[in-house]
């Protein structure tokens, strides 16, 4: 090691960190699968090989503490393989603690060793377990009162896994892929400029060979750029299994804390999504799983009294729907009491009594996402403060996605998370409003209506438009975003007095619909999203910006945040509440 330069040593430590953390994560998953499904010699041999790899690699770079703990774990797996120890939850806890300690040491900003005290504590605990042979009964014959079973429909057999492990991979810094995608986006803009030059060239040089060659070359270049962009996007795509597999461990701990038996089933783990979404999805899904275990599922006694299986079931399912990734988290618990939500929202001053009486059940369930509102009867260490669902909604909005809830009392609850496949590129509808060029994601648009100002109706001081058999609220971006500072009532009256025609873009958010007023429609286009510098643009309704081929900048709006800002604007003006038909 002394003959390595500082740069070479840092590179070596980086490779060691990445590989070791992956091995530790794989060991985590393997252990939890064995705990719920029973021990096999093949799986135990894989764990022993993994421990041996950690031991050898850490010894090469002088991490004596990690080396010693890995060596002791290797002895544990040997003892289990030789039938000298039984594999139970006590052993699993011991091994997981050791893996956590090694992960904390290796996975920091700098690769570090275990402290002598921690290494000694862990090795003594492992040796005592081996020598004493006092371990709980095997989980094949007796399962603990509080446990979690993890099942996945996408498990491959050992041979398939071995084939996958033999595939060649190149480790590339994610920042380099992002830079490549940014360059591909710039090429898309340059292609748009060339496309605009083509017609002008034909006018200037009609029936010219040069014009024909330019046109064919431009078309070919367009295809190549589109393929390049698609290939770079694929490089950013990873399977959602990288998120799903991380929940087995916390679910095991949640089940133990709550004293419930939980079966977690996973499907669709091969579904692909943007790498940028992977880490951002973990927290919102974890919130929903916590709520499901803590006060979604009944206790064992309650389930038996209701004629349900004593093991509560929670499922996670992922699939593609159009250009979206959909994740469903469902439980077979007690369901959500919509009436209780109405009462709690009234008591908190979130809605009026008149609103509560008129509110349909679907809309009442949406109250769950209000800050501070919870269905829990008591606050626990895990949940009950009314923060989880609101945090999930906020996180999904940040991902330009949405969350919806379906529930039936006594049957269960399902949360549906929807988000775009990628955060880098979207298909959007371009339009103008108050002289500004704006865009809305196509995924949020259900239809477009052509209207006259005389068709605008004021209800409680709010502009509404009759769409077939229902009224929907109208949002004018110029007013809500500050481009136009006239009040809604005065401008609404002015609109109704005139004969101006305009477009209403019907936007669907969950179970609600509202209209966005547009002066002119430009058309749909694929946009490369650029982030807005918060120092200059402090407007949460703006999801980003994009540069068109002619150099124009288009502001991309976040549909749900735009609606919330409209509601806040109405309340600030003291002109009533924006109503939404859905």
CATH number, domain containing residue 36: 1.20.120.160
Check: CB of residue 371 under 8 Å from CB of residue 390. yes
249 plus 341 within the same structural domain = yes
Regarding beta strands 470-475 and 462-467, do their DSSP bridges make them parallel or antiparallel, or are they unpaired? antiparallel
**How far apart are alpha carbons 246 and 268 in whole angstroms?**
15
260 and 360 both lie in a single domain: yes
CA distances for 105 relative to 3, 50, 109, 111, 137, angstroms: 25, 17, 10, 7, 32
Three-state SS at 524 = strand
Strand, helix or coil for residue 521: strand
Instruction: Count the helix, strand and coil residues of the chain and give each as a percent rounded to the nearest 5.
Output: 50, 20, 30
pLDDT at 423: 73
Q: Taking a C-beta distance cutoff of 8 angstroms, is the pair 87, 139 a contact?
A: yes
Whether residue 366 lies inside any domain: the answer is yes
Same domain, residue pair 51 and 72: yes
User: What is the Cα–Cα distance from 240 to 263, expressed in whole angstroms?
Assistant: 20
Evaluate whether residue 464 is within a structural domain.
yes
Residue-wise burial string across 515-550, b where 16 or more C-beta atoms lie within 10 A, e elsewhere? bbbbbeebeebebbbeebeeeeeebebbbbbbbbbe
Last-in-domain residue among 399, 420, 441: 420
- Mark whether 179 and 219 lie in a shared domain: yes
318 and 372 share one domain: yes
In a domain, 157, yes or no: no
Is residue 154 situated within a structural domain? Answer: no
One domain, residues 296 and 430? no
The CATH number covering residue 277 comes to 3.30.565.10
How many distinct structural domains can be found in the chain? 4
Chain centroid to Cα 301, Å, comes to: 34
Domain endpoint, select from 236, 254, 289: 236
Beta bridge partners of 463: 458
Note whether residue 1 is domain-resident: no
Do the bridges between strand 261-267 and strand 312-321 make them parallel or antiparallel, or are there none, so unpaired?
A: parallel
What are the Cα distances from residue 258, in Å, to 83, 262, 291, 384, 413?
A: 33, 10, 11, 13, 19
Residues 473 and 326 placed together within one structural domain of the fold: no
Residue 40 lies in a domain: yes
Indicate which CATH number applies to the domain containing 549: 2.40.50.180
| Alpha-carbon span 404 to 418, nearest angstrom | 9
Does a structural domain hold residue 78?
A: yes
Phi, psi of 339 (to 5 degrees): -65, -40
Q: What are the counts of helices (DSSP H) followed by strands (DSSP E) for the chain?
A: 19, 19
Distance CA 344, CA 336 (A): 13
Same domain membership, residue 405 and residue 288: yes
Compute how many other C-beta atoms are within 10 angstroms of the C-beta atom of residue 485.
7
Q: Do 556 and 400 meet the contact criterion of CB atoms below 8 Å apart? A: no
CATH code for the domain of 191: 1.10.287
**Three-state DSSP class for residue 203:** helix
**Whole-number pLDDT of residue 494:** 37
* pTM of the model as a whole: 0.68
Identify the pLDDT of residue 578.
Answer: 40
Q: Please give the sequence-ordered ranges of beta strands (E in DSSP) within 353-484, or none if there are none.
A: 402-408, 412-420, 425-433, 436-441, 445-452, 456-459, 462-467, 470-475
Which residues, listed in sequence order, are joined to residue 433 by a DSSP beta bridge? 436
Residues 506 and 389 in one domain: no
Is residue 432 packed enough to be buried (19+ CB in 10 Å), middle (13-18) or exposed (0-12)? middle
Domain endpoint, select from 221, 236, 251: 236
Asked whether residue 361 falls in the same domain as residue 457, the answer is: no
Q: Give Cβ neighbours of residue 532 (< 8 Å, ≥ 6 apart).
A: 542, 544, 545
Please work out, in degrees rounded to the nearest 5, the angle formed at the alpha carbon of residue 227 by the alpha carbons of 222 and 230: 125
Residue 224 within a domain: yes
pLDDT value, residue 426: 80
**197 and 64 part of one domain:** no
Please indicate, yes or no, whether residues 263 and 400 belong to a single structural domain of this protein: yes
What is the extent of the structural domain holding 69? 6-144
- Tens digits of pLDDT across the chain (582 residues): 556 677 777 777 888 888 888 899 888 888 888 877 778 888 888 899 999 999 988 888 888 999 999 999 998 888 888 888 888 778 888 898 899 999 998 988 788 888 889 988 888 888 888 776 544 433 333 334 445 555 555 443 433 444 334 446 677 777 888 888 888 877 877 887 787 788 888 888 887 888 888 888 888 988 888 888 888 888 888 889 888 888 888 888 888 888 888 888 899 989 988 888 887 888 899 999 988 998 889 888 999 999 999 899 999 999 988 778 899 999 999 998 888 888 888 887 777 787 778 778 888 888 888 776 765 555 454 444 445 688 888 888 778 788 888 999 889 999 999 888 877 778 899 999 888 899 998 888 889 999 888 888 887 767 888 888 888 888 888 877 776 654 344 344 334 334 478 999 998 876 678 899 999 999 988 787 877 765 556 667 777 888 886 778 898 888 877 877 776 666 555 444 443 333
């Amino acid at each position: 090691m002394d003959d390595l330069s500082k740069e070479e040593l840092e590179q070596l430590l980086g490779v060691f960190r990445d590989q070791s953390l992956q091995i530790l994560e794989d060991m985590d998953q393997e252990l939890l699968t064995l705990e719920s499904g029973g021990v096999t010699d093949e799986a135990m041999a894989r764990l022993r090989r993994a421990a041996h790899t950690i031991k050898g690699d850490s010894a090469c770079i002088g991490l004596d503490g990690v080396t010693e703990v890995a060596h002791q774990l290797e002895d544990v797996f040997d003892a289990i393989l030789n039938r000298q120890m039984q594999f139970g939850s006590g052993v699993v806890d011991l091994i997981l603690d050791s893996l956590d300690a090694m992960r904390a040491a290796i996975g920091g900003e700098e690769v570090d060793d275990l402290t002598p005290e921690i290494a000694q504590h862990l090795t003594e605990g492992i040796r005592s377990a081996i020598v004493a042979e006092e371990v709980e009964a095997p989980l094949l014959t007796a399962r603990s009162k509080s446990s979690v079973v993890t099942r996945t429909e996408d498990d491959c057999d050992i041979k398939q896994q071995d084939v996958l492990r033999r595939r060649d991979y190149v480790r590339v810094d994610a920042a380099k892929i992002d830079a490549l995608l940014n360059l591909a986006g710039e090429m898309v803009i340059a292609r748009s400029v060339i496309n605009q030059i083509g017609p002008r060239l034909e006018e200037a040089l009609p029936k010219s060979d040069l014009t024909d060659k330019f046109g064919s070359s431009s078309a070919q270049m367009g295809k190549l750029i589109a393929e390049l962009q698609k290939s770079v996007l694929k490089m950013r795509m990873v399977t959602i299994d990288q998120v799903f597999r991380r929940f087995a461990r916390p679910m095991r701990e949640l089940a133990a804390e709550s004293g419930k038996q939980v079966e977690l089933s996973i499907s669709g783990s091969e579904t692909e999504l943007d790498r940028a979404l992977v880490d951002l999805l973990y927290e919102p899904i974890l919130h929903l799983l916590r709520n499901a275990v803590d006060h979604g599922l009944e206790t064992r006694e309650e389930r038996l009294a209701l004629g349900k299986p004593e093991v509560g079931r929670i499922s996670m399912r992922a699939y593609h729907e159009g250009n979206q990734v959909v994740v469903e988290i469902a439980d077979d618990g007690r369901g959500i009491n919509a009436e209780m939500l109405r009462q709690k929202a009234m008591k908190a001053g979130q809605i009026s009594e008149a609103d509560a009486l008129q509110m349909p059940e679907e809309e009442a369930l949406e109250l769950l996402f209000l800050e501070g509102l919870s269905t829990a009867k008591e606050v626990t260490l895990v949940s009950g403060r009314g923060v989880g669902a609101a945090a999930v909604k906020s996180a999904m909005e940040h991902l330009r996605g949405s969350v919806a809830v379906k529930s039936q009392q006594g049957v269960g609850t399902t949360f549906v998370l929807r988000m775009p496949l990628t955060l880098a590129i979207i298909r959007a509808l371009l339009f103008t409003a108050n002289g500004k060029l704006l865009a809305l994601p196509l995924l949020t648009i259900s239809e477009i209506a052509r209207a006259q100002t005389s068709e605008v109706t004021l209800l409680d001081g709010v502009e509404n438009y009759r769409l077939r058999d229902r009224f929907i609220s109208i949002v004018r971006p110029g007013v809500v975003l500050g481009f136009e500072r006239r009040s809604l009532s005065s401008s609404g009256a002015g609109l109704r007095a005139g004969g101006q025609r305009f477009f209403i873009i019907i936007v669907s958010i969950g179970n609600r619909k509202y209209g966005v007023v547009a002066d002119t429609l430009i058309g749909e286009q694929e946009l490369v999203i650029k982030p807005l510098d918060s120092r200059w643009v402090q407007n949460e309704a703006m999801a980003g910006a994009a540069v068109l081929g002619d150099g124009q900048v288009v502001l991309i709006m976040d549909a749900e945040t735009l609606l919330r800002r409209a509601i806040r604007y109405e309340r600030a003006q003291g002109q009533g509440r924006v109503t939404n038909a859905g």
